[in-house]
Every structure is written in C-alpha cells, then in structure tokens.
C-alpha cells in the first residue's frame, strides 16, 4: 500500500516520513491547544492525531503546493489589512442612506496551478474588499463584485501574485486579459 | 492589567459594530450575492476584533492561541460556505441584482 502511494506521488520513503512527522507535530499542537495540559486527553488524542495524519496524506497528498515561510510573512499582514478594509467597506455600504452598490459578475482566468494554491485563491477572493468568488470551472473563477467601479482586476492580480509567492510558484506572470 | 482589560473591551465593542453592520446589510441588500458580501466580510472582521479583544483579557497564551485558532477555522468555514452558497445560486440561475 505504501509502495503504491510512494510511486503515485513520486516520493521516497524518507520524504514521506519527514512530511508525516511535520503533520504529526502540527496536529498534535492543535490537539494540545484544544484540550490543554490534561494528560489523560492524549488517550484519545494520540489515535486522533494518527488518524488525522493518515487522512490528510490521503486527501491532500504531498507536493500540491509547498508554503514558503517568507511568503507567509508577507501574506499575513496583507491579508489582515485587506480583510479589515473589506469589513469597513461593507459597513460603509450598509450604513449609507443611499444604495452604494453597483454589483456585477466578472470572469477571471488564473495561472495558479490546481490544488491548494487555486483553492486558497478562490477562498481568499471572498474575504477581499468588494469581491466574492461565485464559481470555479477549471481555472476560471466567476467573481461577483459589489461595486463595478472598484479596481477589481488590479486587486485580483495582486492577490494572485501574492499567492504565487506564498506557494513558491516562481514562473513569470503573464497578463491574461 | 486594568488598561489591557479596557482595551479589550473597546475591541469587543468595535467588533460588535461590525456584526451589526453585517446584519443590517443582510436586511437591506437586494439579492443573495450582495447579502453574502455583507455577512462574510463584516462577520469575519467582527469575529477578528472579538478575538483580539478577548485575547487582551485572556489569562494565558494558550487561551490566546485557541481563540486565534477558532478565528482561522471560522474564516475557512465562512469563505468556503460563502462560495458554495453563491455557486449554488448561480447554478439555479438566480440573476444578480444590478443597477436599473
């Protein structure tokens, strides 16, 4: 079973062990955060962590997007700032006496590879000011915007570039107009 | 830590304003898509500020980490469910409201 898995994902046993160990540490941390320092909780925790590692290797095999640490350091402040701005933006539109909305649908074709980067992209769009991802067909995202006068195109391209850096995708970006 | 407590209270208060504005958007906006905008965005910021405020008042780093973890989980859940609701609306051919 393991040999098949290694062959299917072009991995060596040592690589798989390393990846599984990293995930083991991550899930153990999550369990520790959830349950606190109660030792007895690990009676359930250790099997749960093993199960989670196995399930994650099955659902999200290694190789579909490796996060870059530096990219993350740049991405988190950007993300926090943008989501705060998007909250302010919505607040302004809901509370203004006039109807400050001019919604519409836009299609965007991304060069991000399928898998984690693409899913991450689609989900982040919904948290940026004025945009909401409404559909995904192949690599074309249908975006609903609350105001067509916003610079949607620039924002989305900016986000796409940042996600490419976050996932170590270094190929030069083409303008896919 | 009296000051930290008060700062926390301030963040929680501002967070509540975001929740209220999200709810007003839900009532005022004309169609499902624009309502989704209001709900996801305002609530995420509201919850973020709530977590920030509660973190100021927390008594251990573990509580803070747990709060941030909750916020991240809610972010993932709300952006994914927002996408799913919008997609199913599009598939049902519900036309987005547009300016007349």
- B24 vs A contacts (CB less than 8 Å): 94-95
Is A31 part of any domain?
Answer: yes
Q: How close is the nearest chain B Cα to the Cα of A173, in Å?
A: 26
Three-state SS for chain A is: CHHHHHHHCCCCHHHHHHHHHHHHHHHHHHHHHHHCCCHHHHHHHHHHHHHHHHHHHHHCCCCCCCCCHHHHHHHHHHHHHHHHHHHHHHHHHHHCCCCCCECEEEEEECCCCCCHHHHHHHHHHCCCCCEEEEEEECCEEEEEECECCCCHHHHHHHHHHHHHHHCCCCCCCCCCC
pTM score of the predicted model = 0.85
- The verdict on A35 and A111 lying in the same domain is no
A52 touches chain B (CB under 8 A): no
> Is residue A6 very low, low, confident or very high in pLDDT (cuts 50, 70, 90)?
confident
Is A174 part of any domain?
Answer: no
Residue of B nearest to A126 (CA): B79
Is A49 part of any domain?
Answer: yes
- The verdict on A99 and A156 lying in the same domain is yes
The ipTM value here is 0.89
The tens place of each residue's pLDDT in chain B, 100 residues long, gives 789 999 999 999 999 999 999 999 999 999 999 999 999 999 999 999 999 999 999 988 889 999 999 999 999 999 999 999 999 999 999 989 888 7
Domain ranges within chain B, ordered by starting residue: 2-91
- B44 vs A contacts (CB less than 8 Å): 83, 87, 127
User: Number of structural domains, chain A?
Assistant: 2
Q: How close is the nearest chain A Cα to the Cα of B76, in Å?
A: 8
- The verdict on A156 and A90 lying in the same domain is yes
- The verdict on A42 and A83 lying in the same domain is no
Is A96 part of any domain?
Answer: yes
- The verdict on A79 and A139 lying in the same domain is yes
Of the candidates A33, A103, A123, which has its C-beta nearest B34's C-beta?
A: A103
- The verdict on A162 and A88 lying in the same domain is yes
pLDDT of residue A173: 47
Is A176 part of any domain?
Answer: no
Of the candidates A30, A123, A146, which has its C-beta nearest B83's C-beta?
A: A123
pLDDT of residue A10: 77
- The verdict on A158 and A75 lying in the same domain is yes
Tens digit of pLDDT for each residue in A100-127? 889 999 999 999 888 888 999 999 999 8
Tens digit of pLDDT for each residue in A9-30? 777 888 888 889 999 999 999 8
Of the candidates B18, B29, B75, which has its C-beta nearest A87's C-beta?
A: B18
**Cα–Cα dist A82/B18, whole Å:** 15
pLDDT of residue A177: 41
The domain in which residue A29 lies consists of 2-59
What percent of chain A has pLDDT above 90? 52
């Amino acid at each position: 079973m393991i040999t098949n898995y290694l062959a299917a994902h072009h991995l060596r046993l040592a690589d798989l062990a390393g990846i599984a160990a990293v995930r083991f540490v991550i899930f153990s941390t999550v369990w520790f955060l959830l349950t606190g320092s109660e030792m007895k909780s690990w009676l359930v925790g250790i099997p749960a962590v093993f199960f989670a590692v196995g399930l994650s290797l099955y659902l999200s095999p290694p190789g579909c997007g490796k996060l870059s640490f530096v990219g993350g350091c740049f991405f988190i402040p950007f993300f926090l700032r943008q989501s705060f701005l998007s909250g302010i933006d919505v607040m302004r539109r809901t509370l203004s006496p006039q109807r400050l909305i001019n919604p519409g649908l836009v299609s965007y074709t991304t060069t991000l590879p399928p898998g984690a980067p693409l899913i991450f992209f689609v989900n982040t769009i919904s948290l940026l000011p004025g945009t909401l991802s409404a559909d995904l067909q192949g690599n074309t995202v249908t975006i609903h915007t609350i105001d067509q006068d916003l610079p949607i195109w620039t924002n989305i391209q900016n986000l796409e570039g940042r996600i490419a850096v976050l996932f170590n995708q270094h190929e030069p970006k083409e303008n896919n107009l | 830590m009296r000051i930290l407590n008060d700062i926390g209270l301030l963040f929680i208060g501002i967070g509540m304003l975001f929740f209220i504005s999200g709810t007003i958007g839900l009532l005022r906006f004309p169609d499902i898509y624009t309502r989704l905008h209001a709900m996801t965005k305002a609530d995420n910021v509201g919850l973020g500020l709530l977590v920030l405020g509660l973190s100021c008042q927390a008594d251990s780093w573990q509580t803070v980490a747990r709060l941030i973890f909750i916020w991240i989980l809610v972010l993932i859940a709300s952006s994914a469910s927002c996408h799913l609701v919008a997609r199913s609306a599009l598939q049902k051919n519900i036309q987005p409201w547009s300016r007349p």
